[in-house]
């Protein structure tokens, strides 16, 4: 059994392992070239997060989806580069919005330099993604443009928050579908498209990508509470500190308060406060880690992973389908 890609994804087929690993190596080389600039300082800032590592989840999905067509087609590696450059660009902007000091276990660009440098570096990476994308044809350009619109819309919805008539949990899931699911759906779709897969296969992979993308973010949101930061590569409780509602806190609010449980009462009191200061933030994080809402969030993440797996059933059996099914398990297991 060989390990390929993020999350310790195990693939038993030797040929698929070789093809995907060769593809990931080619993506790394192409990414390193794509972030280079004639201005040395821009090269440093643009390569900052890429050099810090990352899961390369989106390029992996491009390569696995391409297995349902001609995986060696010329556009597959550039497609994987496009989605990763776009993702990297959003991270620079996200860290400015979140005032995050750490990303991927390293100082974020905004903390190492400043917000202006981080924003402009993100813009630079978007421009490089567009340059690569232009060679993939008008359909790929439209796909990326639609995904980017959904991504930005999801971010705006998160910033605005749910309306008075909106269900907060439904609003949250819509935000995730836009912010995360849209680009991962495109990763699957553009990979299969570049490989010339059948249209019905492309549609299934795209729908799967959105569902596994939401699951991926649900797992990240559980990790934001449950982990010590090594797994997520970010400071634990970032969303909690910023007052951003995620699955664990939304589920907690749906649960009836237990007046006989002092810890439950205290946690709900803390969640009504500003948690910017370290002491109340640490207390809220500690109490939430022990609250049943966190286990409920884990179960919900597993349910979404199982639904994503079921969406793959119509696809032809083979190593690529097996790998995507294993990916569903790996994403969910991260929360355990």
pLDDT by position in tens, the chain (length 336): 344 445 445 556 788 888 999 999 999 999 999 988 888 888 888 887 777 767 788 999 999 999 999 999 999 999 999 999 999 888 887 777 766 666 666 777 777 777 788 888 888 898 999 999 999 999 999 998 999 899 999 989 988 888 888 899 999 999 999 989 999 999 999 999 999 999 999 999 999 999 999 998 999 889 889 876 555 556 778 888 888 889 999 999 999 888 888 998 999 999 998 888 889 999 999 999 999 999 999 999 999 999 999 999 999 999 999 999 998 888 877 766
Read off the CATH number of the domain in which 190 is found: 1.10.600.10
Say if CB 98 and CB 225 are below 8 A apart.
no
Q: 56 lies in which domain range?
A: 2-333
The count of C-alpha atoms lying within 13 angstroms of the C-alpha of 106, restricted to the half-sphere facing its C-beta, is 16
pLDDT at 11: 57
* DSSP-assigned letters across all residues of 41-99: HHHHHHTHHHHT----HHHHHHHHHHTTS-TT-TTHHHHHHHHHHHHHHHHHHHHHHHT
107-116, long-range: CB within 8 Å, 24+ apart, which pairs?
109/45, 109/48, 109/49, 112/48, 113/45
Domain count, the chain: 1
Q: What's the whole-model pTM score?
A: 0.86
pLDDT at 100: 66
The residue behind tokens 């990931």 is: 24
């Amino acid at each position: 059994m060989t390990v390929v890609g993020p999350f310790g994804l195990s693939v038993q087929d030797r040929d698929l392992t070789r093809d995907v690993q060769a593809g990931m190596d080619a993506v790394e080389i192409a990414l390193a070239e794509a972030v280079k600039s004639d201005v040395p300082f821009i090269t440093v800032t643009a390569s900052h997060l890429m050099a810090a590592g990352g899961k390369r989840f989106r390029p992996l999905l491009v390569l696995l989806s391409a297995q349902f067509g001609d995986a060696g087609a010329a556009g597959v590696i550039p497609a994987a580069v496009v989605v990763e450059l776009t993702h990297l660009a959003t991270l620079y902007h996200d860290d400015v919005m979140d005032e995050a000091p750490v990303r991927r276990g390293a100082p974020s660009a905004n903390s190492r330099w400043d917000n202006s440098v981080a924003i402009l570096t993100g813009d630079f990476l978007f421009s490089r993604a567009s340059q690569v994308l232009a060679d993939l044809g008008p359909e790929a350009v439209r796909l990326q443009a639609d995904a980017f619109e959904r991504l930005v819309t999801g971010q705006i919805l998160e910033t605005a928050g749910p309306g008075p008539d909106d269900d907060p949990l439904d609003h949250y899931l819509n935000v995730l579908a836009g912010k995360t699911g849209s680009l991962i759906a495109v990763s699957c779709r553009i990979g299969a498209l570049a490989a010339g897969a059948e249209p019905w296969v492309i549609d299934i992979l795209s729908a799967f990508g959105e569902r596994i993308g939401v699951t991926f973010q649900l797992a990240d949101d559980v990790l934001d509470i449950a982990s010590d930061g090594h797994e997520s590569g970010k400071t634990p409780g970032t969303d909690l500190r910023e007052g951003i509602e995620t699955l664990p806190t939304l589920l907690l609010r749906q649960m009836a308060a237990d007046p006989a449980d002092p810890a439950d009462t205290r946690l709900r009191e803390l969640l009504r406060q500003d948690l910017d200061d370290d002491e109340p933030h640490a207390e809220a994080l500690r109490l939430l880690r022990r609250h049943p809402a966190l286990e409920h969030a884990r179960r919900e993440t597993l349910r979404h992973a199982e639904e994503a797996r079921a969406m793959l059933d119509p696809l032809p059996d083979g190593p690529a389908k097996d790998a995507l099914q294993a990916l569903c398990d790996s994403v969910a297991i991260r929360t355990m």
